[in-house]
Amino acid sequence: EEMTEEERHFQDRVDADEKIEPKDWMPEGYRKTLIRQIAQHAHSEVVGQLPEGNWITRAPTLERKAILLAKVQDEAGHGLYLYCAAETLGISRDELTEKLLDGSMKYSSIFNYPTLNWADIGAVGWLVDGAAIMNQVPLQRTSYGPYSRAMIRICKEESFHQRQGYDIMMKMAKGTPEQKRMAQDAMNRFWYPALMMFGPSDKDSVHSAQSMAWKIKINTNDELRQKFVDQTVPQAEYLGLTIPDPDLKWNEETGHYDFSEPDWSEFYEVLKGNGPCNTERLEARRKAWDDGAWVRDGLMAHAEKRAARRTA
């Protein structure tokens, strides 16, 4: 239907690449889809610490432990930047956490897959953070100011995340035959779940059209997935690893790799909560939330006492 005067003015601002700030007028739908995307992005950062956190105490050397610890701490910080950006839209962090725990908000499907051995930590850094970089770099230009600034800050740290993962894969792929087998096995298990991180194919993406008009999404899901495949195939070749897709091949005409789509029925099963680790991940977040209740209550009581003293 026809745009109102305000909607027209808002769209002109977005089209002119102006940044929309918290106090500016915005369509209710813009606010809603930003809360949805930023909060789920934040939930992904927080839940994403679990698969890697599992290996901090099992790292093969002190150096690897220190690197992994630094990366997991970075992810926690990314979550906090993004929750702060979501709060500027008028929703509290507590509400967002409750929505994660009651299943009404999502986190990235990739974190519902297990990290079975150390090679998986390499594959996660290389492929998962590699895909996250592919998705987050364009988001630095998103129309909503607080989200754009959070992305600029986060992207500065992501390349270290990807490099340390690729470094683990290089060591193992060029190590003993058993290490190379582990690296190949990790590649086999993380390849398709990493492709799913970019979302359903464009024809099945419910939010893309509107999100691109509002510059909440800068590229389509398939565009970024293709860029990720084009960039990752040479990296796998350098490692001497085989991408688990017999139909993967360079297409001279398009200048891109042709590749097999992930199993979308698996994707939607994972989104429904039936992935390998969904229950375990949400249980861990619920336990953290419950175990921290006394700290939150204590801080609130303290803050109320201090406020009462000030007004007394």
- Assess 186 for contact with ligand 3HC (CB under 6 A): no
- Assess 215 for contact with ligand 3HC (CB under 6 A): no
CA 249/CA 98 separation, integer angstroms: 45
52 Cβ contact partners less than 8 Å away, ≥ 6 residues apart = 68, 71, 72, 75, 115, 121, 124
CA 285/CA 137 separation, integer angstroms: 28
The answer to whether 133 and 151 have CB atoms below 8 angstroms apart is: no
- Assess 199 for contact with ligand 3HC (CB under 6 A): yes
- Assess 41 for contact with ligand 3HC (CB under 6 A): yes
- Assess 184 for contact with ligand 3HC (CB under 6 A): no
In the 8-state DSSP scheme, what is residue 256?
E
Rounded least distance, CB 242 to ligand 3HC, Å: 24
Tokens of 69: 């610890």
CA 9/CA 2 separation, integer angstroms: 13
- Assess 123 for contact with ligand 3HC (CB under 6 A): no
Residues in the interface with ligand 3HC (CB under 6 A) total 29
Rounded least distance, CB 97 to ligand 3HC, Å: 16
The DSSP annotation for 233-251 comes to HHHHHHHTPPPS-TT-EEE
Tokens of 34: 């930003």
Q: Using CB under 6 A, which of 97, 143, 164, 221 touches ligand 3HC? A: 221
- Assess 197 for contact with ligand 3HC (CB under 6 A): yes
- Assess 37 for contact with ligand 3HC (CB under 6 A): yes
Rounded least distance, CB 111 to ligand 3HC, Å: 8
Please report, for residues 128, 144, 187, 303, the alpha-carbon distance to residue 125 in angstroms, rounded to integers and kept in the order given: 6, 28, 12, 40
- Assess 262 for contact with ligand 3HC (CB under 6 A): no
- Assess 194 for contact with ligand 3HC (CB under 6 A): no
- Assess 109 for contact with ligand 3HC (CB under 6 A): yes
**β-bridge partners, 20:** 144
CA 264/CA 270 separation, integer angstroms: 10
- Assess 26 for contact with ligand 3HC (CB under 6 A): no
- Assess 148 for contact with ligand 3HC (CB under 6 A): no
Q: Using CB under 6 A, which of 34, 173, 196, 277 touches ligand 3HC? A: 196
> In a 3-state reduction of DSSP, which class is residue 180?
helix
For ligand 3HC, the closer of residues 118 and 126 by Cβ is 126
The window from 17-25, 44-52, 60-68, 236-244 that contacts ligand 3HC (CB under 6 A) reads 44-52
φ, ψ of residue 176 to 5 degrees: the values are: -70, 165
Q: Using CB under 6 A, which of 19, 36, 65, 171 touches ligand 3HC? A: 36
The answer to whether 38 and 85 have CB atoms below 8 angstroms apart is: yes
Rounded least distance, CB 137 to ligand 3HC, Å: 11
> In a 3-state reduction of DSSP, which class is residue 195?
helix
Rounded least distance, CB 74 to ligand 3HC, Å: 8
**Chain residues in the site for ligand 3HC (CB under 6 A):** 36-37, 40-41, 44-45, 48, 75, 78, 106, 108-109, 128-129, 132, 135, 196-200, 205-208, 211, 217, 221, 271
